[in-house]
Structures are given as structure tokens and as C-alpha cells.
Structure 1
Amino acid sequence: MKPPLRIAILECDTPPDSVREKFGRYGTIFKTLLDAGADALGQPDLISSKKGLELSAFDVVEDQKYPDLDNVDAVLISGSKHNSFDDTPWILKLVEFTKKLLAQDRVRTIGVCFGHQIIGRAAGVKVGRSEEGWEIAVLPVEMTAKGKELFKQDTLSLHQMHRDVVFEYPKGVETLGASPKCLIQGMYKKGKFISVQGHPEFNEQIVTRLVNMRHEQGIFTNELAKDALDRVGNHHDGVAVAQGFLRFLLED
């Protein structure tokens, strides 16, 4: 695929006010990530934050609007506070749209956290609540051979914010990585899709806000919140993941 890369970002949630006021909606947060990834590729004549990326955003929860596939080259499905296995109308509509994406051969798909799980669901495998519990803040993900090839690292340190998982790999999918609590941390199918369970778009400030909010809401225990906040400022490889996403899109 040659630039310009026309990427539609499906916003599957709205950030809390404290996050949105500083960092914007998820379309903007992902733009920041992808711009950084493009610059880090070190190919400014091909792609950078100033050239070769054309990003658009669609609210698929409230507006339930979707891109015309004739007008995009890739679709990125964002994370969400919602459950990927629920049957609410907007989620069912998203799953059907994702099935349509997976059934065609031109537009490529990127999934992040909830989006990773939606790809799994659309591909026909089980997604749901893990008995292993929450993964929160920066944690190591060990890469497979394909993960090392795409992300250029043996291990990724990634922000996590989930207790739902994809339980098995769809047929024909290559593995990207695993963590002790989540064996399917990433999926890849050449020319079709790439996904990660972590949150490359998050940073220390965003995750700190989310952890404190969920602690106040009683979702996170004192112990969970403290453990997460102790690690929230650790080195994070979000830009390396963004580079991997772009390498996937630029593949022939």
C-alpha cells in the first residue's frame, strides 16, 4: 500500500472529561500516536506527521456513522469501556461492519484493545471476561517472531486497561505476543488486519486519570489502583507499536 494512507478511526468510546479536555477525543489521541509513529519510521520522503497520512474519525457509539470503504485504505477500531461481547445495537452494528471489512481484500484493519476483541468476535472466535483479572498500566508483552519482525523489539512495554480477552486465534492468524495474564496480546493476518490488546495510544497522564477515576468509582480496589499507579510512569513503547501498524499498512 502506498501513501497517502487514508485511515478512518472508529471511536468506540468518549474519553472522560479530564482526558478529553487535555488530549481530545480518541480520534485526536490516535492522530498524535500515528504522527509520532510516522516520524519515527525515519522515511520523511515517504511518510511523516506532515506527509502521507490522511486521518478521519467516526463516532460509532452515539452517531453510529461509518466510513465509505471506497474512500479509505484502513480502519482503526479503538478501545472502549464497553464489553466487546455485549449485544447492544451499536456493538452488533460494529461487529457486522468488521465482518464486512474482513471479507474484502483492499481496506486493512487495525484493532486496539476493545477493537482487538471486536476483530476476534467478527472472525468467529470467543471473546469475554478473563478469569485472570485486570491488566492495568505498563506491563511487558513478550513478542513472537512475527511480533519482533513488525515491532522491532523482543519485548514491548505497553499500557494495559482490560480484563476482557480474545480466547483463541482465528484460523490463519499469526501470533504477535503474550503476557502472563493474556496469551493473545496481538494478532496479524497479512494484508488483512493487525491488532494489539494493549493501549499504544495511552500515556502516563491518561492512564493516571483513568485509574484514579475507576478507583473512585469502586471498579479498582485500593491494591489494584496502587499497583497500577506505581508502574504508570514506566517506559512505554506506544510509538514502536504505531510504527508496526504503519509497516503493516505499507506492506505490499
Structure 2
Amino acid sequence: MTSRQRHPRVVILKTGTTYPSIRERFGDFDDWFLRGLSPALDTTVTDVTANDLPGEPADWDGVVVTGSPAMVSDRESWSEAAARWLARAVDARVPVLGVCYGHQLLAHALGGEVGYHPQGRETGTREVELTAAAAEDPLFGALPRRFPAQLTHRQSVLRLPPEAILLGRSAFEPHQAFRVGPCAWGVQFHPEFTDAVMRAYLEVQAPELVREGLAPDRLLADVRPAPQASQLLPRFSDYLLTHQR
């Protein structure tokens, strides 16, 4: 690194916290993203549910938005403020990666529709299929056409924002990944999850899953590693390192 170069400044917008038992074993949402992102990034975590938003979007070279137990459709004040901030980030062409809640919040911020999935919850390891457009995408272009991914959500992007490019889908979820503009991505699946974290989620969710008519034992048996999905975090890191603003 030359004297004129610097580490890209990235802010993780933390939009909630995981179950206490999972946090005790594996850490929290921000820990998982920090594990997957490159150490060459200058990374800051801001809990937007309790703190002010981190300055202006243009102050940052990249933005990551975590998952959350909250629901975008509840339109809590902190969430709506974060949505407006994200819209400004996209306008400024600051690279953004929104995951699960972050994916839905980004879609909402840009004019899409978010709400409960009409078929209920999706959880466990599922297969994501990429669209033809993904072949030319900076993050998805090197991934296989189909790959496993970890998922857990009840709300979905029901309608993509105008001008969004659909990049991925699944049998259950038609909007698994999208991009708006050159560098704002939303992914419903969890690239930050390990298979151990996915199993822990299913174990905690088991009573609710039974009430919802799902089979936690079968879902647990189907959990497997998802290394291709996890590549999104280092690939986003590489994008920031090679497209430094």
C-alpha cells in the first residue's frame, strides 16, 4: 500500500441482535460480518436501533446492513431513518450490501414493497438459483448457477424497487438477490451464517416451527455448509478494495 492509499472505510449498520443463547455461543450479527469481511477494510459498527446514523453516506467507502428480528413493515422510527440514509447512499453510489432485514430495508428505501411472505417462514439450508443477469454482476458473476445458502426469514421483498436487476431466486422466494445501480446489492440469504449458526437457529426456533407445521428435525438434517454463499462477503470486500472512491 502506497502512502497515498488508505484502507476503505466501511460501516456496518447493525439493525438488531440475535437470540441470547446464540450470542453466547457464536457472538452477534456484527461479529459474523467482521469474520467474513476482509481485515484490509477499516470497519466500524453502528447499532442504528440505539444510536445516531453514522454521519453522511458519502463519508464511507462501503455500507453493510445486517439482519434483524424486527420487521421492516412495522416502520419503526430508527428503521425509517436508516432507509432514508440508505437511499442517499445509493444516490451517492456508495457500495451497499444489505442482508436479510438489510435486503428488505434497501428494497423499501428504494421504492419496493416488503411484507410477510404469503407462504410463511423460510428457514434452513436452501438452494439459490442465479438469473442470467448475475453472470455479469461484480459479486455474483463467479458463483455457480445454483448453490446452497442459509436462510431464516418471515418477511420478504414482495416487489422489487424500480430498475432493480433480479440476480437470484429460489423455489420459495422469488427475490433472493437484486442489485440497483452499479453497486447496491440486497440478498435475502445469510452469507455470514455458518452451518453451525444455522443449526443453532433451528434449535431455538423448533417450538415455533412445529406450531407453523414445519419439521425442525428434517430441517436440521438438511443443514449443510454453504461456502459459495459465504463468498459474497470476501467478494464485496474485494470490490471495495479495487473500486475505492
Q: TM-score, normalised by structure 1?
A: 0.83
Which string of whole-angstrom CA distances, capped at 9 and with x for unpartnered residues, describes residues 188-219 of structure 1? Answer: 13434011110010112212222222224x35
Partner of 1:134: 121
Partner of 2:164: 173
The 1:192–1:234 alpha-carbon spacing in structure 2 relative to 1, beyond 3 Å, is closer
Which string of whole-angstrom CA distances, capped at 9 and with x for unpartnered residues, describes residues 103-154 of structure 1? Answer: 323x221110110100110111111011122221111111112324433211
Amino acid at match of 2:7: P
Partner of 2:27: 24
* Partners of 1:19 and 1:209 within 8 A in 2: yes
- 1:118 and 2:105 aligned: yes
Aligned runs of 1:215-230 on 2, under 5 Å? 215-216=206-207, 218=208, 220-221=210-211, 223-230=214-221
- The alpha carbon displacement at 1:66 in A equals 2.6
* Partners of 1:9 and 1:58 within 8 A in 2: yes
Partner of 2:202: 211
What SS does structure 1 have at the residue aligned with 2:36?
A: helix
- Identity, in percent, stands at 25
Gaps of 5+ in 1: 36-48
- 1:242 and 2:233 aligned: yes
Amino acid at match of 2:132: A
Which string of whole-angstrom CA distances, capped at 9 and with x for unpartnered residues, describes residues 172-197 of structure 1? Answer: 22111110111111111343401111
Which string of whole-angstrom CA distances, capped at 9 and with x for unpartnered residues, describes residues 70-120 of structure 1? Answer: 432111111111111112222122222222222323x22111011010011
Partner of 2:48: 60
Partner of 2:13: 10
Partner of 2:73: 85
* Partners of 2:194 and 2:226 within 8 A in 1: no
* Partners of 1:8 and 1:67 within 8 A in 2: no
1:94 to 78, 82, 96: 82
In angstroms, what is the RMSD of aligned CA positions? 2.2
Distance in 2 between residues matched to 1:201 and 1:245, nearest whole Å: 12
- The alpha carbon displacement at 1:251 in A equals 4.8
The 1:248–1:164 alpha-carbon spacing in structure 2 relative to 1, beyond 3 Å, is farther
* Partners of 1:33 and 1:238 within 8 A in 2: no
* Partners of 1:194 and 1:248 within 8 A in 2: no
Amino acid at match of 2:173: C
The 1:67–1:228 alpha-carbon spacing in structure 2 relative to 1, beyond 3 Å, is farther
The 1:126–1:223 alpha-carbon spacing in structure 2 relative to 1, beyond 3 Å, is closer
What SS does structure 1 have at the residue aligned with 2:37?
A: helix
Distance in 1 between residues matched to 2:182 and 2:118, nearest whole Å: 33
What SS does structure 1 have at the residue aligned with 2:74?
A: coil
- The alpha carbon displacement at 1:22 in A equals 3.1
Aligned length: 234
The 1:234–1:103 alpha-carbon spacing in structure 2 relative to 1, beyond 3 Å, is closer
The 1:242–1:220 alpha-carbon spacing in structure 2 relative to 1, beyond 3 Å, is farther
Distance in 2 between residues matched to 1:103 and 1:81, nearest whole Å: 27
The 1:60–1:187 alpha-carbon spacing in structure 2 relative to 1, beyond 3 Å, is same
